[in-house]
């Protein structure tokens, strides 16, 4: 498929989506959003893909929603023709997603990173929700996912002042899974993605699903969900293989069954 604003590549069982609007620091316009969602859902439908990486450039993961595209929209325009409606599909992918973030991840860019399962950041990464400076508030999850990730008080500091935070602060706060030197970002991310993609696909789906439940439900309901998903794993060939391999002191060879 030919895309205008992203690059798409497959290496082994890993699907890569690279945002490619350098002239606008990967600002998320409607074309870019549609293409990301299309590429990601295509990877998600492919059982040959066990992990998805979304990344930008050295300067910007994404500098937010496209301000120039939004500036003249009115209330009714945003309601009837919501350019962000399809992000829901991205948030519901079964396949684990790693956001590989270098440079700016601001506004919708930070929110896109937070839709991923892991955020691996270059030491150059800068996160923030600067919408308040533009006379709006975050609109694709920032006010909900950020406090869940870093707590209410740190999230309020970012969302109400519009300041940005660097990779170190973001890691301390719990927004970032790991920090790596900028030059090593894609190598490190590839290794993590390959590790995830080497596991049993249905078990990875179950683990992601249960992690999602932790974000969305109260503890008792989440524990019930986990118990069901854990028990269901015992119906899989891969559980038999994983535990047999441990007993035999050899690496497991999962068949994704």
Q: How far is CA 143 from CA 37, 69, 223, 232, in A?
A: 22, 22, 25, 34
Burial grade of 253 (CB within 10 A; 0-12, 13-18, 19 or more):
exposed
Query: 102 catalytic, yes or no?
Result: no
Angle between helices 219-233 and 201-216 (to 10 degrees): 170
Of 111, 167, 173, 197, which one is the catalytic site residue? Answer: 111
Instruction: Say whether residue 106 binds ligand HXC (CB under 6 A).
Output: yes
Please say if 65 is a catalytic residue. Answer: yes
178 with 168: CB under 8 angstroms? Answer: no
Q: State whether residue 163 is helix, strand or coil.
A: coil
Q: Is-catalytic flag, 194?
A: no
Whichever of 52 and 105 has its CB closer to ligand HXC, that residue is 105
List 50, 56, 130, 202, residue binding ligand HXC (CB under 6 A): 130
Asked if 25 is part of the footprint of ligand HXC (rule: CB under 6 A), the reply reads yes
Site for ligand HXC in 161-220 (CB under 6 A): none
**CA pair distance 133, 146, nearest whole angstrom:** 18
Q: Cβ 209 to ligand HXC, closest distance in Å?
A: 26
Nearest of 101, 95, 90 to residue 19 by alpha carbon: 101
Q: Which stretch binds ligand HXC (CB under 6 A): 33-41, 63-71, 88-96, 195-203?
A: 63-71
Task: Please give the residue ranges that form the binding site for ligand HXC (CB under 6 A).
Answer: 24-25, 27, 63-68, 84, 104, 106-108, 130-131, 134, 138-140
Indicate which residues carry an active-site annotation: 65, 108, 111, 131
């Amino acid at each position: 498929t030919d895309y205008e604003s992203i690059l798409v590549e497959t290496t082994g069982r890993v699907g890569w989506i690279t945002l490619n609007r350098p002239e606008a620091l990967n600002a998320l316009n409607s074309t870019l959003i549609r293409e990301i969602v299309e590429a990601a859902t295509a990877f998600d439908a492919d059982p040959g893909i066990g992990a998805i990486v979304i990344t930008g450039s050295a300067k910007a993961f994404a500098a937010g929603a496209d301000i120039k595209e939004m500036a003249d929209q009115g209330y009714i325009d945003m309601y009837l023709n919501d350019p962000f409606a399809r992000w829901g599909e991205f948030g519901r992918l079964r396949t684990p997603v790693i956001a590989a973030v270098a440079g700016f991840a601001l506004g919708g860019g930070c929110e896109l990173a937070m839709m991923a399962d892991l955020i691996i950041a270059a030491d150059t990464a800068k996160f923030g929700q600067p919408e308040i400076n533009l006379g709006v508030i975050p609109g694709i999850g920032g006010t909900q996912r950020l406090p869940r990730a870093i707590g209410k008080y740190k999230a309020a500091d970012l969302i109400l002042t519009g300041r940005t935070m660097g990779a170190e602060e973001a890691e301390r706060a719990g927004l970032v899974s790991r920090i790596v030197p900028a030059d090593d970002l894609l190598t490190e991310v590839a290794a993590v993605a390959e590790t995830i993609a080497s596991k049993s696909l249905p078990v990875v789906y179950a683990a992601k699903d249960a992690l999602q439940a932790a974000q969305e439900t109260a503890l008792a309901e989440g524990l019930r969900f986990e118990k069901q998903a854990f028990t269901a794993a015992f119906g899989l060939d891969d559980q038999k293989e994983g535990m047999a391999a441990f007993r035999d002191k050899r690496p497991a060879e999962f068949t994704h069954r």
